[in-house]
Amino acid sequence: MTARTHDAFAFATLVTVAAFFPPSNLNLATLVVSIIGADIGALIPDMDGAGNRLWDLLPAGDNLGKILRRVFYKHRTLTHSIIGVVAIYKLLEWVLVRGLNAGFLDEKIILASIMIGYLSHLLADSLTEEGIPLLFPLRINFGLPPIKSWRIKTGKWFENFIVYPAVWIYVIWFIQVHQESLLQLFRQTT
């Protein structure tokens, strides 16, 4: 999947989870950081690719990307596995608890949002032909549906002209249907 499909997918997943499992306490700053966090979370799994936009945020990012790409040597390995999910969760938990001012931003909600973005990425990738190596380092790729030829080809017309718009149509439809619970979230922030 391309980065923009992952962006859209992450936002759709965040809105869905927020409507069904609304946080009991939410301030505006946490809400904004959570939306950005879900987007960043959705880009983290592809950091093993040197072209990832997240590397552009770092100085000399591209070289670092190239080095790490050599370390991971193949796209979709560790970062697209269960071990990767647990590792990134533990790492982010450690960083966020130390890095954020707990009175101002709710680091639990932000951590959950980043992980929602991350997991939405894995779900989206599992819909593609390549699938994902959930049990890495075991080289078995999993996908939905299990029959490979029924899955999506990354970056091709079906993704760009069907899947991508469909995700946004879903978001608009979902917001319509769940207006009340989503508005409730905003009311909390005022």
- The site for Zn ion (CB under 5 A) is made up of 45-46, 125
Q: Give CA angle at 6 (26, 137), nearest 5°.
A: 105
A 10 A CB-CB count for 169 gives 11
Q: What Å distances lie between residue 177 and 15, 97, 173, CA to CA? A: 12, 35, 6
Q: Which is nearer to Zn ion, 75 or 108 (CB)?
A: 75
Cβ of residue 125: shortest distance to Zn ion, in angstroms? 4
Q: Which is nearer to Zn ion, 37 or 45 (CB)?
A: 45
Q: Which is nearer to Zn ion, 42 or 105 (CB)?
A: 42
Cβ of residue 72: shortest distance to Zn ion, in angstroms? 12
Q: Which is nearer to Zn ion, 106 or 125 (CB)?
A: 125
Q: Which is nearer to Zn ion, 45 or 133 (CB)?
A: 45
Cβ of residue 46: shortest distance to Zn ion, in angstroms? 4
Q: Give yes or no for a contact between 136 and 58, defined as CB atoms under 8 angstroms apart.
A: no
Q: How far apart are CA 122 and CA 132, in angstroms?
A: 7
**Residue type at 136 in one-letter notation:** F
CA dihedral 166, 170, 171, 173 (to 10 degrees): 140
Cβ of residue 190: shortest distance to Zn ion, in angstroms? 37
Cβ of residue 141: shortest distance to Zn ion, in angstroms? 12
Residues 6+ apart with CB under 8 A from 84: 45, 78, 136
Residues 6+ apart with CB under 8 A from 104: 27, 29
Cβ of residue 29: shortest distance to Zn ion, in angstroms? 29
Q: Which is nearer to Zn ion, 113 or 118 (CB)?
A: 118
